[in-house]
Amino acid sequence: MNDRRRILVCDDEPQILRALKVILRDAGFETVPATTAEEALDLAAVRPPDAAILDLVLPDGDGVEVCHEIRRWSRMPIIVLSAMGDEDAKVRALEAGADDYVTKPFGARELVARLQAALRRVQGADEEPTITADGLEIDLAARQVRRDGTDVHLTPIEFRLLETLARNRGRLMTHRVLLTEVWGPEYVDDITILRGHIANLRRKIEPVEGPRYVRTDPGVGYRFTA
C-alpha cells in the first residue's frame, strides 16, 4: 500500500515539472502532475491531494484563481512557485489563500522544508491547546505565554497577534491578513500600528541572545518560524 502523501504540482514548463517530480520523490512524496489550471482543479476535485505547488502563470489562467477555487472547499497547504518575485505578486497569491511563495530559481531543500512546515501546520492546527517552540510556550486556552518557564506579560492585542502567527507557523502572513485578523477590516491599511506591535512583541518574547520567533518578509508581512 502506498502511504506517501500526494502533492499536486501544476507547472507548464516540462523541465520544472520533471525537477519537481524528482525533488518530491526523493523527499518521500508522490507527485500528481498538471500543466494547466483546469487540469489542476479537476485532479484536486476528483482525488484531493495533501498539498499543492502551483505556478503563478499558467497557459489557461492564473495560479491565483486556482488558489481561490481550492480555498472554497479545502484547507490543503498551497505553495506558489513563480519567476515573478515582486511584492504585489506575492501579496496577491498569499491573500488568495496560498500558504507560501517560492521564487524561481529555487533550492530543493528549501522548497521541501517549506512544504513540510505547511503540512505540519495543517496537521496540528486543531490539535494543540498549547504551542511550544524553542523555549517559548503559548497556552491558547489560558491565554498565557512563558519563555524558559518565566511568565511573559502581553497585552490582549499582542497575545492575539502572537496567537495568529503561531497558529499559522511557517506560513507567510501578509500585513493585510494580520491587520484584519487582529484589529478588524477597518484597519487593513494601518501598517504602522502593526509594525509597532510586532516590535513590542519581539522585545518581550525574544531574548537579546536567543531564538528569533518572528521573521520579517520586507514589504509583505511576517511569519512565525520557530
Q: Residue 82 sits in which domain range?
A: 6-124
* pLDDT of the residue at 23: 96
As a whole number, mean pLDDT of residues 77-100 equals 85
Same domain, 149 and 201: yes
Q: How confident is the model at residue 209 (pLDDT cuts 50, 70, 90)?
A: confident
Q: Are 113 and 182 members of one domain?
A: no
Q: Note whether residue 200 is domain-resident.
A: yes
Strand partners, 31: 7
Half-sphere exposure of 41 (CA within 13 A, CB side): 18
Give residue-wise pLDDT tens across range 156-198: 899 999 999 988 888 889 998 899 888 888 888 899 999 999 9
**Mean pLDDT value across residues 77-81:** 92
- The full DSSP string for 43-77 is HHHHS--SEEEEESEETTEEHHHHHHHHHTT----
10 shares its domain with 111: yes
Distance CA 160, CA 166 (A): 10
- Domain check: are 26 and 102 in the same one? yes
pTM of the model: 0.70
Verify that 148 and 77 share a domain, yes or no: no
Report if residue 1 sits inside a domain: no
- Clarify whether residues 113 and 135 are in a common domain: no
Residues 145 and 80 both lie in one domain: no
Cell numbers standing for residue 166 = 503561531
Q: With 90 as the cut, is the pLDDT of residue 11 above it? A: yes
**Are residues 48 and 151 both part of a single domain?**
no
Residue ending a domain, among 124, 143, 176, is: 124
Count of CB atoms situated within 10 Å of the CB of 218:
6
Same domain, 120 and 141: no
pLDDT in the model for residue 115: 92
Where does a domain end: 124, 150, 179? Answer: 124
Does 110 share its domain with 200?
Answer: no
Whether residue 172 lies inside any domain: the answer is yes
Which tens digits make up the pLDDT trace of 28-59?
Answer: 999 999 999 999 999 998 889 999 999 988 99
Checking if the pLDDT of 27 tops 50, the result is yes
- The domain that contains 155 carries what CATH number? 1.10.10.10
Q: pLDDT tens for residues 115-157? A: 998 888 776 555 557 888 888 999 887 889 999 889 999 998 9
Same domain, 120 and 135: no
Mean of per-residue pLDDT scores for the chain? 88
Ranked by mean pLDDT, the top range of 20-29, 71-80, 100-109 is 20-29
User: What's the total number of domains in the chain?
Assistant: 2
- Are both 19 and 112 inside the same structural domain? yes
Which of 66, 99, 124 represents a domain boundary (last residue)? 124
- Let me know if residue 39 belongs to a domain: yes
Q: How far is CA 31 from CA 19, 59, 79, 157, 217, in A?
A: 11, 20, 14, 41, 29
**Residue 32, domain CATH:** 3.40.50.2300
